[in-house]
Each structure stands twice: as structure tokens, then as C-alpha cells.
Chain A
Amino acid sequence: DVKVTQSSRYLVKRTGEKVFLECVQDMDHENMFWYRQDPGLGLRLIYFSYDVKMKEKGDIPEGYSVSREKKERFSLILESASTNQTSMYLCASSGPGEAKNIQYFGAGTRLSVL
């Protein structure tokens, strides 16, 4: 089974703090994704990466950056956290070929910015 692990289930941060959300997958997947889920808005793509050191902006990249130094790890960075970044953050990964269509998700990190 594919396992996508997000380092924290719950985080509470202060406005202006730099926040790191970590995600690790164990299936040697090329593609990794960061989403946020908000009530009534569904899942919105923040950033994705299709290879080490490669990244592309998703639909809502403003206020976020990412890092992918190793294939198995994809980090989401909030440079200066704001209250409107309070949300559920979901990491996902997908494999090569036809398997790229199916994304596997971690359990999520619920971030509260006070």
C-alpha cells in the first residue's frame, strides 16, 4: 500500500511565523502535491512537483512556497503565516504512467494561525 505521511496532524502558529509542513511518501512516486481543503470550497491545489527540485504553481500559490530536495519528501512553507491560511492541508503523491492519474493522500495537517 502507498503510504503518504504528513508530519503533524495539528499545528497552532502565530501570525507572522514561518511554518513548515512536511510530507513523505514511501512508493518512489515522481509526483507530489499540496492542497488545502476549506468548507464549501473543496480541495484546491497550491503547488505540485513532478521531480526532485522541480515545482509548478497550482491554483492558489500566493503566500506559499515549496521544496523538494529528495524524491520522497515534499515540504510546504508558509513564509509569514496569516489567519487566512488557517485550513486543512493535504499532501498527495502519484506514480508514473497510467498510475499518475490516481493520487494518494496523507491524513492531513490542520493548521490554525492565531
Chain B
Amino acid sequence: DQQVKQNSPSLSVQEGRISILNCDYTNSMFDYFLWYKKYPAEGPTFLISISSIKDKNEDGRFTVFLNKSAKHLSLHIVPSQPGDSAVYFCAARESGSNYKLTFGKGTLLTVNP
């Protein structure tokens, strides 16, 4: 049973436009969410996170939105740059688990010049 779902395997956008990556979850015990970016032949790198007590967190060009009632979060990248082309993973932590993250399958973002 997949608890964190990224339903779009890939997304293509033009440079300078907004990229929106989506993530849905089913476990109501998740209380902390993260986005990671992964380039080929490299490990994932932490991008941005949000606690369930918030509905938005912003860091430069990256904003994460959380809609708890819909069990949905999204990552907005504005403006998109060719260097943003990578696989993006959504991850979630279950309340009380302390250590374990559950990852989605990832979305490949391609930003075209």
C-alpha cells in the first residue's frame, strides 16, 4: 500500500515559468513533510520541508503548500531554471516514528531553455 503518492512520473516546463509538483498521502499520522531533489548519479539532497501545523513554507524560489484536509502537498518553483531539472521526491514522517521517512516514487522535472 503506497502511503505517499506522486502521480506524475514526469513534468516538463519552460524556463522562467512556474513548476508545480504534487504529492498525495493517505496516512493521517504523517506530521512532517519534505521534498528532496536528485540529480543522476548523485544522492538526494534536501530541498524544503513543512510541519503539519503550517500550510506554507517558502525558501527563495521554492514554496511548499500543505492541504491537510485533502492530504495533499505541492512544491512550487518560481521561476524555473534549467538547473532545476532533476527527480523530485516527496517524503513524509509519521508522528512518533522519530526516524523513518516514507518516500514517493518521484517526479522527473525537465526545465527547457
Contact = CB atoms under 8 A, between A and B. Distances in A.
B44 A107 contact: no
Contacts, number: 53
A41 B41 contact: no
A96 to B, nearest CB: 10
B105 A104 contact: no
Contact of B99 (A9, A31, A44, A104): A31
A100 B49 CA distance: 12
Interface of A is mostly: strand
Given A44-B103, A103-B101, 18 more contacts: A40-B9, A42-B104, A42-B105, A43-B89, A43-B103, A45-B100, A48-B100, A50-B99, A92-B43, A94-B99, A100-B99, A101-B32, A103-B46, A104-B46, A105-B36, A107-B43, A108-B41, A108-B43
Interface of A: 4, 9, 31, 33, 35, 40-45, 48, 50, 58, 90, 92, 94, 100-108
